[in-house]
Amino acid sequence: MPMELWSLVWGGLLLFILIAMSANANVSAMGMSWGIGNRDETATVTGWGARVRRAYLNHLENLLIYACFAIPLVMAGASSSLSVLGAQIFIIARVLYAIVYVAGITIAGIRTILWFAGVVGYAMVFIALLQSQM
C-alpha cells in the first residue's frame, strides 16, 4: 500500500485514540450514568479533557483535508517522491501536534509550528496531485 494511504490509516488510528481519550475525559467529569445515558446535558470538561477534545476536532478537520488529496492521488497512480515525503511529514506532524496539544506544551509556539508542518505535508500531496494532471 502506498505511503499516502498508510498515513491516512495511521491518521485514522490517531483519531480513534483521541476520540477514546476525549470520551474517557467526558465520563470522568460527568459520571458513568451520563456516559451510558442520553447525554442531554453537554459534558463540561476543562484542562486535559478539553485539550483532548480540541485536539481531536482539529485532527478530524485536517485528516479530512488530507484524505481529499491523498485518495485521488493514489487512485490516479500519481504517487511521487514529493507526495511520499508530504505524507510522512503530515502524519509525523499530526502525531507530534496531538501529543504537544494534549500535554499542554506551549513553548515557543510549538503547537502552531507542528500544525503548519502538517499543512505543508498535505499541500505537498496536493501539489503532486496537480503535477500528475499536467
pLDDT digits over 32-84, tens only? Answer: 665 566 666 776 777 898 999 999 999 999 999 999 999 999 999 999 999 99
Q: What is the pTM of this model?
A: 0.91
Q: Does CATH place domain 3-132 in 1.10.510.10?
A: no
Q: 11: exposed, middle or buried (C-beta count within 10 Å: 0-12, 13-18, 19+)?
A: buried
Summary mean pLDDT of the chain: 92
Quick one: pLDDT band at residue 88, thresholds 50, 70, 90?
Answer: very high
The one-letter amino acid code at 117 reads: A
Tell me, what's the pLDDT at 86?
99
Q: Which long-range contacts (CB under 8 A, 24 or more apart) does 68-76 make?
A: 69/122, 69/125, 69/126, 69/129, 70/4, 70/5, 70/7, 70/8, 70/122, 70/125, 71/5, 71/8, 72/129, 73/4, 73/125, 73/128, 73/129, 73/132, 74/2, 74/4, 74/5, 76/129, 76/132, 76/133
**Could you give the CA distance from residue 60 to residue 110 in angstroms, rounded to a whole number?**
20
Tell me, what's the pLDDT at 44?
79
> Of 99, 94, 83, 85, which is closest to residue 117 (Cα–Cα)?
94
Tell me, what's the pLDDT at 40?
65
Q: In the chain, where are the structural domains located?
A: 3-132
Tell me, what's the pLDDT at 24?
87
